[in-house]
Structure 1
Amino acid sequence: MTRRRGRDEPDDFDGDDEYGSDDWAADDPDDFPDGVYHDEELPTVPCPYCRREISEDAPRCPYCENYVSREDAPAPRRSRFWIAMMILALLAAAWWVI
């Protein structure tokens, strides 16, 4: 065996693959051997957060449960700290006016 660009192939490799031959057209799915071309699977994309493959139409990643796009994500909740600070500022302004 010789090493060719990271692949191990026997020296007597004649171009035949596990399906019998390599004489099928790579651009025509009808010519592909059984099991090579799976067009019935849903298209997938990597999750922008955990990089796992998820369905292209999924609004949330099933693994990390983050929303894939901003329009699908719920509106961010305001922090209670900032709400309390605004109330205190309004009370201080009202007390200063009186």
Structure 2
Amino acid sequence: MPARDQHSIDDDWLDTDAESQAEDSEDEPTVPCRYCRREILEDCDRCPYCEQYISSEDGPPISKPRWIIAGTLLCLFLAYWWIFN
């Protein structure tokens, strides 16, 4: 059995690490950062690129659907019309 020098052993180790990291990164779900739009891991607390904290409090405000607003205005109009007619 031929002897292997330390340099070739280290090269083999580095190749294996690169392959396993590529496989690991494909398995983990990612989402876009809401500040810089780069792909980050879903369970990150902070974006590694722009260093902004990611939390639900920082998200954009959720607006009501238009049909709820229109329905409310229609009900108010009908109540006003019924009372004063």
TM-score, scaled to structure 1: 0.37
More helix by share: 2
* Greater relative contact order, per chain length (Cα 8 Å cut-off, separation 6+): 2
More strand by share: 1
